């Protein structure tokens, strides 16, 4: 595609598909936009907002268009497999919102299809494009804290995400805090610790609040890496709706033989308190929070923030960098399809360990996780 204009197919026109499509209309290399969503009204509304060139509710009809040269898959988590495999048959570059699949065996099948076809596919792990994490990554590349010995990660999340995600589907068994949301902090730590790989995990979970919805409140785990590094990976997504963090609050501590890097990404540095009810912060089709919020940690919505009608932040960087990659061939820090599959297996291995109450050896076969 290098040097040619981009003909973009966006499959799934919900919250994230909309963001990507709006950004696509801004990029000078994107010459054509086609949209597909099973909800015709959702696709039509986005089509009007981005002046789309083609709109349909038929996936095959969109992918058959000769203008299509790149594809974004942004459907619901449980509905990624079919559009990815259809797009792989085209051999076109792919941007896939995580995960490849919510079934580990299906994820392996999708990864195999992508690799066999030699498709240039990346995954939506937006936080890699935050300036602070890019800086930390370079300091680790430069060896500025010596050899890493231990890592600790804590993620706090407002329960709006599980509320909105689980109400869309009855297939909830794999929609756990780790698989849906902990995967972002897990990916971040795996990226920062490259090329290490985990060899064991032991985890525990609790479902006191969200059990009735078919998911867990929190999962805490301890990984052992292949060089002996220990890594504590913890997430709770059951904080009350009034919690001021719109979505994610993350802390990471990385200890080395000659130094330490301590990252506070909790967004408590800019706090808004007001008598006026605040927007939910997290938006999803058909979802409204059950209580009003009057305090907000500004900047805590992972994609970024809207100012004067434009989104600014890591999702802009991630999306525009992908378009630049397609246009010029430059290397980027995007997560690969292999990274996405690995992340799914690791998050599910944590859930599996918590379920059986024992350590789990890694790597683990997808069939074991079923």
CATH number of the domain residue 58 falls in: 3.40.50.720
Q: Are residues 163 and 275 in the same domain?
A: yes
The answer as to whether 215 is a domain residue is: yes
The answer as to whether 189 is a domain residue is: yes
Structural domain harbouring 145: 127-309
Indicate if the pLDDT at residue 348 is higher than 90: yes
The answer as to whether 348 is a domain residue is: no
Q: What pLDDT does 283 receive?
A: 67
Instruction: Tell me how many domains the chain contains.
Output: 2
Q: Return the CA Rg of the chain.
A: 20
The answer as to whether 278 is a domain residue is: yes
- What is the average per-residue pLDDT within 190-198? 97
**Which tens digit of pLDDT belongs to each residue from 63-121?**
999 999 999 999 988 899 999 999 999 999 999 999 999 999 999 999 999 999 999 99
Q: Are residues 134 and 282 in the same domain?
A: yes
Burial degree of 128 (CB within 10 A; 0-12, 13-18, 19+): buried
For residue 170, what is the domain's CATH number? 3.30.360.10
Cα separation values, 274 from 187, 292, 306, Å:
35, 12, 19
Of the residues 309, 328, 355, the one at which a domain ends: 309
Q: What pLDDT does 90 receive?
A: 93
- What is the average per-residue pLDDT within 321-341? 97
Q: What pLDDT does 171 receive?
A: 66
Predicted confidence band of residue 280 (pLDDT cuts 50, 70, 90): confident
Average pLDDT, the chain: 94
Q: Are residues 51 and 154 in the same domain?
A: no
Predicted confidence band of residue 146 (pLDDT cuts 50, 70, 90): very high
Predicted confidence band of residue 356 (pLDDT cuts 50, 70, 90): very high
**Which tens digit of pLDDT belongs to each residue from 205-245?**
999 999 888 899 999 999 999 999 999 999 999 999 899 99
**Which tens digit of pLDDT belongs to each residue from 62-78?**
999 999 999 999 998 88
- Of 170 and 58, the structure prediction assigns the larger pLDDT to 58
Please say whether the dihedral angle defined by the alpha carbons of residues 154, 160, 161 and 162, taken in this order, is positive or negative.
positive
């Amino acid at each position: 595609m290098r040097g040619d204009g981009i003909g973009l197919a966006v499959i799934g026109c919900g919250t994230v598909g909309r963001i990507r499509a709006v950004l696509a209309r801004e990029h000078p290399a994107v010459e054509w936009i086609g949209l597909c969503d099973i909800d015709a009204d959702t696709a039509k509304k986005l089509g009007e907002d981005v002046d789309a060139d083609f709109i349909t509710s038929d996936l095959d009809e969109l992918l058959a268009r000769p203008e299509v040269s790149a594809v974004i898959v942004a459907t619901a988590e449980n509905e990624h497999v079919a559009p990815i495999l259809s797009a792989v048959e085209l051999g076109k570059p792919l941007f896939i919102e995580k995960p490849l699949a919510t079934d580990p065996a299906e994820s392996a099948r999708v990864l195999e299809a992508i690799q066999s076809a030699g498709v240039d596919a990346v995954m939506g792990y937006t936080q890699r494009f935050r300036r602070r994490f890019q800086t930390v990554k370079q300091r680790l590349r430069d060896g500025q804290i010596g050899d890493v010995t231990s890592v600790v990660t804590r993620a706090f999340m407002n329960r709006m995400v599980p509320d909105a995600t689980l109400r869309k589907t009855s297939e909830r068994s794999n929609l756990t805090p780790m698989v849906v949301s902990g995967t972002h902090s897990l990916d971040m730590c795996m990226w920062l610790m490259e090329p290490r790989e985990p060899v064991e995990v032991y985890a525990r979970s609790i479902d006191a609040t969200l059990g009735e919805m078919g998911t867990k409140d929190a999962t805490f785990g301890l990984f052992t890496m292949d060089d002996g590094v220990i890594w504590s990976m913890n997430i709770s997504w059951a904080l009350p709706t009034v919690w001021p963090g719109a979505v994610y609050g993350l802390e990471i501590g990385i200890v080395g033989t000659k130094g330490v890097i301590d990252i506070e990404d909790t967004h408590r540095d800019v706090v808004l308190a007001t008598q006026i009810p605040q927007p939910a912060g997290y938006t999803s089709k058909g979802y409204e929070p059950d209580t009003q919020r009057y305090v907000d940690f500004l900047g805590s919505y992972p994609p970024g923030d809207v100012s004067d009608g434009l989104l600014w932040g890591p999702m802009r960087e991630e999306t525009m960098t992908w378009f630049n990659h397609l246009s010029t061939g430059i290397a980027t820090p995007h997560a690969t399809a292999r990274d996405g599959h690995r992340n799914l297996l690791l998050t599910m291995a944590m859930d599996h360990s918590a379920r059986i109450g024992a350590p789990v050896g890694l790597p683990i076969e997808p069939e074991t996780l079923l």
